[in-house]
Amino acid sequence: MSAATMIMRTLIPAAVGAIALLQPAWAEPAAEVRVTYSNGQFQPGVVSAPVDKPVVIHVRNLDAKALEFESTSLRVEKVVAAQSEVIVNVRALKPGRYEFYDDFNDKARGALVVE
């Protein structure tokens, strides 16, 4: 084995370990919630997440038509094709109720409660 190969085998793992240590201590994994859209409604209608933690919302559309998952308070707008799923990433939130809806169907509403 050449000297260059030995150095690379030593330095690369050390560099990866050093980068991992540089991650901020507050970089917690996101909370995950799941919402299903079926028969023109979100189920469950209300989901919850912890305070001050990023949230990943899995939106699964079981209907034969697309939906537009939208929320002014969460600052998201995402089209979900029929029979598919999307992931919506949301910043860390303060306590409160954050409404969401299907922009293509005024009757389909839900909420993310952060507490």
Q: Which amino acid is at 45?
A: G
d(CA 80, CA 103): 11
pLDDT digits (tens, 9 = 90+) for 38-65: 999 999 999 999 999 999 999 999 999 9
- Average of per-residue pLDDT across 74-100: 97
> What's the confidence (pLDDT) of residue 84?
98
> Mean pLDDT in the chain?
87
> What's the confidence (pLDDT) of residue 53?
94
The CATH superfamily label for domain 31-114 reads Cupredoxins -  blue copper proteins (2.60.40.420)
pLDDT digits (tens, 9 = 90+) for 12-38: 665 555 555 555 555 668 999 999 999
> What's the confidence (pLDDT) of residue 8?
55
What is the reported pTM? 0.74
Give the residue extent of every domain in the chain: 31-114
